[in-house]
Copies of this chain bind each other. A is one copy, B any other.
Amino acid sequence: MEKLKLKLLYADLKSDLEIIEKELEKALNSSSHLLNDASLHLLQAGGKRIRPIFVLLGAKFGDYDIQQVKNVAVPLELIHMASLVHDDVIDNSDMRRGRETVKAQWNNRVAMYTGDFIFARALTYMTELDNQRLHQILAHTMVEICNGEVIQIEDKFIVDQSLKDYFRRIKRKTALLISSSCELGAVAAGATEKDARHLRRFGYFVGMSFQIIDDILDIMATDEELGKPAGSDLLQGNITLPILLALQDEAVRPYIEKVVAHEQLSEEDRQAMLKKLRKSPAIAEAKKVSDKYLQKALREIEQLPKHPTRKKLRDIALFMGKRKF
């Protein structure tokens, strides 16, 4: 049912999302064949364009004008795309959404400068904006994403970390981009400061909820659904919430300790670990935390003025916080 609502949401925004998609294509055009190939590869990998959707929805609380709104949606999505390419280098990921990553299809260097190129293009778009507040949000987002890269590496393979460390990481990795999306849309469309603030907080809570679900799915979903081996997060040394919670589980703990000690995990071991993990109470506990964030997000919506878009925000929040994969 949630999926159906999302489809309706997409149908409503379809033509505006197409305008953004066209602009993204234009932005990634380059005189270099190699760069065009890598960018095209990224564009085709697509994704759900969740961030542009939030920008559009945020803008509905002001004077909605797609031509204005696209000028913040495009640089924000570019920043997101660039950070994904660089993330794959940091995580040494060969697959993303069932496709080879840029670093896998080419190599780390190509991924590095493809990301640089996309960051630079985002910047070019940003210079066209004449509202300094929009600049500041975008620049702050970019800075925090880069800081997030660092923290993510520093925290890798470290089991002796607090939940706070985890929350700090996913805030920068995911929640900030969604919260900035909502706020940028609102500010670009001239919404009130109060509404922009509620939208920002809404985006933050949705983002936190979404990332926790993502981290749970990395364990619960099948390799096929994920487009990469289940359990990849842990294998790459990323200690997620369900993993942190599963450290209390005697049946799972030995596997986690093996991985963080950089011992090779056989395919058999991975399967055995997943079996234990999937039955661990850690999964339900993590879901509870995600739900708490989702509820907070829904409460922010209540603070917004009555407007048909409120229901859409609710639908997308529920979809993102409840999805099965």
- Within 8 Å CB of A288, what residues of B? none
Q: Is the CB of A30 within 8 A of B112?
A: no
Taking a contact as CB atoms under 8 Å apart, the answer to whether B109 and A147 are in contact is no
Q: Closest Cβ of chain B: how far from A322's Cβ, in Å?
A: 33
| Proximity string of chain A (108-146) to chain B, C-beta cutoff 8 Å, 1 when within and 0 when not | 111011011101110110110010100110011011011
Could you give, for residues 150-178 of chain A, a 1 whenever the CB lies within 8 Å of some chain B CB and a 0 otherwise?
11011000000000000000000000000
**CB interface residues, A 59-111, toward B, < 8 Å:** 86, 89-90, 108-110
Question: Which residues of B sit under 8 angstroms from A109, Cβ to Cβ?
Answer: 89-90, 108, 153
- Check A153–B86 contact: CB distance below 8 A: no
Determine whether the beta carbon of A150 is less than 8 Å from that of B35.
Answer: yes
CB distance from A155 to the nearest CB of B (A): 10
Residue in chain B with minimal CB distance to A112: B112
A123 near B142: Cβ-Cβ < 8 Å: yes
Q: Is the CB of B139 within 8 A of A124?
A: yes
Q: Is A34 at the interface (CB under 8 A from chain B)? A: yes
Pair B108/A120 contact, Cβ less than 8 Å: no
Instruction: Provide the residues of chain B in CB contact with A117, threshold 8 Å.
Output: 143, 146-147, 149-150
Contact A147 B30, CB 8 Å, known A112-B112, A124-B140: yes
A104 to chain B, nearest CB (A): 15
Nearest opposing residue in chain B for A83, CB measure? B116
Cβ of A90: which chain B residues have Cβ within 8 Å of it? 109, 112-113
Q: Please measure, in the bound complex, the distance between the C-alpha atom of A255 and the C-alpha atom of B121, giving whole angstroms.
A: 40
Chain B residues, CB < 8 A from A34: 150, 153-154
* Assembly CA distance A306 to B85 (angstroms): 51
> Which one of B35, B110, B139, B154 lies within 8 Å of A123 (CB-CB)?
B139
Report if A31 contacts B (CB, 8 A).
yes
With a cutoff of 8 Å between Cβ atoms, the chain B residues found around residue A86 in the complex are 112-113, 116
Given contacts A119-B119, A123-B142, A139-B127, is CB(A30)–CB(B113) below 8 Å? no
- 6 A-B contacts, Cβ less than 8 Å apart? A32-B147, A33-B154, A35-B150, A89-B108, A113-B150, A113-B153
User: Taking beta carbons and an 8 Å cutoff, which residues of A are in contact with B?
Assistant: 30-35, 86, 89-90, 108-110, 112-113, 115-117, 119-121, 123-124, 126-127, 130, 132, 135-136, 139-140, 142-143, 145-147, 149-151, 153-154
Q: A90-B113, A119-B146 are in contact. List 13 more A-B contacts (CB 8 A).
A: A30-B150, A32-B151, A33-B154, A34-B150, A34-B154, A109-B153, A110-B153, A113-B150, A116-B146, A117-B147, A120-B139, A120-B142, A124-B139
